[in-house]
Chain A
Amino acid sequence: MKDINIVIEICGSAGEGTISAGEILSRFMSGQGFEIMSFDSYPAEIRGFGKCVAHTRISSNPIYSPGKFVDVLISLNDKHSISQLGSLKESGVLIYDSQPARPHKEDESAVGWTKPGMVSYGIPLNMLAHKAAGNARGMNMVALGVIAALFHMEKDQFTDSIKARYGKKKQIVIDSNVNSFIEGYGWTKENIKKNDSYSFKGVNLPEQKEKLIINGNQLVARAALDSNLSFYAGYPITPATKIMEILSRELPKHGGTLLQTEDEISAIGAVVGAGFGGKRAMTATSGPGFALMTEFTGLSVMAEVPAVIINSQRGGPSTGIPTKTEQSDFNSAVSGGTGDCPRIVLAPTDTKSCYDAVVLALYLAEKYQTLVVVLMDFFLSNSIKNIDVPQKPLPEYLNANIAPGKDELKDYKRYKITKNGISPRAVPGTKGGIFFSTGLEHDEYGRPDYGEAGHLKMTRKRFKKFNAVLSEAPAPEISISGKNEFDIGVISWGSSAGAAHEAVMSAQKEGINASSFSSMMVSPFPQKALIEFSDKCKKILIPELNFSGQFAGFTSHILKRPVEKLNFITGRPMASEDIIQKMREM
């Protein structure tokens, strides 16, 4: 049985339906039983004529990264597509408009820039759209018709997908889209002689379970609702805004409250307030907002009040690059702020684990009475995958507060020193549980205490909780286990972990003896497992999306050995192709 693994890009100008065409394609192919991952890019400006690219990888096997190189490029607008040709594979396919509304000058035509070996199909996209619906708006659907015909996709089922996408619109809208698709399909079948080897036919796909086609932000909101979130406060910021927008609609239906605040300081302040009240509360932001939240992160840790912050990283520092992906908030998430301030940081490694991370975050924050940061990024927030419907959290994850018993309430010490560092927590309204919390150092009752012994005792207590937290960390993911020696060990975190795993799996085929390691929990870090892994590896490679190698620095400190770094700040997600290249050189 053959493997299918094809990356398709549709490139056009904002407003040409580029992104919707990509969405319809992914949804249809998912329905056909393929694995899909898509990651679109579009300009930061809302209106204008910026370049839009709908990038979709379609495979008969699990997908861990979006794919750096493109097999099929569909140009709805040659001006933008020329620069996309750089990532088209040597034997890739270009589909372009052979009769554009305005004829191209010589060097403005995409086909003029193709390299020998590439296959080009000129299709009168604009003309066919006019023929089907009387205007150029259906060009994107014509293009879908073309690829359906060229690469052997099921025509009638594809038509149904388009109908489903526009199902709520007026009949004329549905008709013009469907007709444009059929026009493109028919014309291609009749006029084009296939000259490439790409096809989606001839593969047996496993029987399709119910799949969710979803991105990280949507999963965060879903996980929060499934985890009985009762309060959300937030301030709009790319790429986290969508989480607030979804919860704004959904949270009240679940009996919760959403507050849009005047700034991020107020958002985290309100979250800490709700947490003090014993309710599950959360906020989501990106680097600049996270910077503003820093003083409250300290209070959450010091006063031992549960709080969850989702930080979807973008290019930084400062306002940085709002619509590009980066992993450069590692240091600030793990150790930003004042004082000795231990906090839990979870970095989901793929779309699905965004759900798991949020369930775990809300549980750990409540149980360990502390701050939990979920470190996502622009790519995880926005890339779309088809995944199995996540299992809802088990009951013990939904109610984790350790409340004081009757005896403890007789002389209630809110910050009682215990074996594991967790002090039973009373919530306001509890008779006999009255206490006072402060950001000042305090004694077991919560009263300000600046003594030397007291500060040491309480600092130890706050750190001690980490030992127990670590026992709740999901097991690190290791690509190849069962061997005692590897030439290269790839250690990665967050959204780069998928590409690292994929790189290691491909490297095997080239005879490179390698494995990869990643942990969703990055603070506290499962150091023992990391050292065990590292001891088996002759060389260590750490790929990540920041300039200075923040995680590499953190890791080499634990491992006390030199590590090889691989860093990108291109704004694009980590590519397995780049990791393999580096492994070959090592």
Chain B
Amino acid sequence: MAKKRWLSVLLSAAMVAGSLAMAVPAQAEEGEVQEITWMFWDDLEASEDNITKGFKEVIDRFNADYEGVYHVTPITTQLEEYYTQLNALVDADQTPDVFIVSPGPNLTDYVAPGVAAPLDEYLEADGWKDTFAGDAVFAQQTYDGKIYAVPLNTAAACVFYNKEIFEEAGVEVPKTYDELLDVCQKIKDAGYTPITISAGTAWCLSMLAGYLCDREGVDLAACNSGEESWVNEKTIAAGEKLKELSQYFQETAAGDSNDDATAALYFEEAAILIQGSWAIGQMNGANPDFEEKCGVFQFPAIEGGNDPNRIIAKSDSLAMSSSTQYPEACVALMKYFTDDTAQKYTAEVGGKIPVTNVEYDASVAPAQLADVMEIFENASATFGFYNESLVSSDAGSYFDNQMVAIYQGEKTPEEAFQAVEDWYAENGYR
């Protein structure tokens, strides 16, 4: 009996100890492999996106070249879940050593509380910074003179279209908003969906709204600072045009995800997609036959409005955790993403604009990249996504939702922009 009692006590004690056991991260001893993590917003194994495939190659190459020294383990999520899961890891003191992030309020969220580490000393150390195409590529990643993230590529938001449908409908590339309306009507008359867009993924619709606001001449800085109200004739006109264009969206736009909407273009169900040039890798990866049918043009001008050569540009960037145990391994990994092999791939296969001075073979690059490069080179200025250019990421989400409300007819443009103004009044201007 005594034996049984002691056994039960021992087992119970083991259970108690087990329930209290905490996962303690192992410390690598000298000479051991330095393990780091890298977090990204797509599935490296399942994705058909060529940029994602390129990132997988970088990871594999890094792990092979540094075998026995460094090793990186990817943490991947869906794009929509990315920041939620990243924040959860940050909050649990398990910040990935290296993580991808969009410049703007998203990066600010990690720079302000000290989650992201400054990278200047590493960039300056061995001429790494000189490989980039000038200091301007770091403009959106710089806070108080310090660089907190390394850009990997640049993409421009453009209008992608199906050349065959345009030909069939007998329309030319529109230069102005009125011409765009005319083109959409003729495509609709020809039996096709004129514009495919996602309102289910709110930032897609918001990107179009951002273009309309900019073309109308909205002074974003003044609205952000409170010098000008969000309810003004330019924002209202942009909202009205968003509503006007929505008659040409696919019927399922409200529920379609970004992937659904993009697929409608490359599966030739719709004629026009307003999207960033990051979609080139996705379109060509999923349907290589579409590449030669796909044209690109600049978002049309609004007569009497702002400079029509301004384009929305965005870069994917890598930040390093300030709590990483292995900064050297992290920097080595980031260098692999910006070396010639990776950057050539970015242009020649991914269809994105490289951020370094790498020379790539334009003849093997996706056909759409030449058009994007032309638009980019002719641009008078670039500006960010509206939702990433507001006072905070909260403000960006709120703006996105108001644009969806205009599209769904739940709010008039006046009501929607009044709501944005009210949000600023309550939460603060820049």
| A and B associate in one complex | no
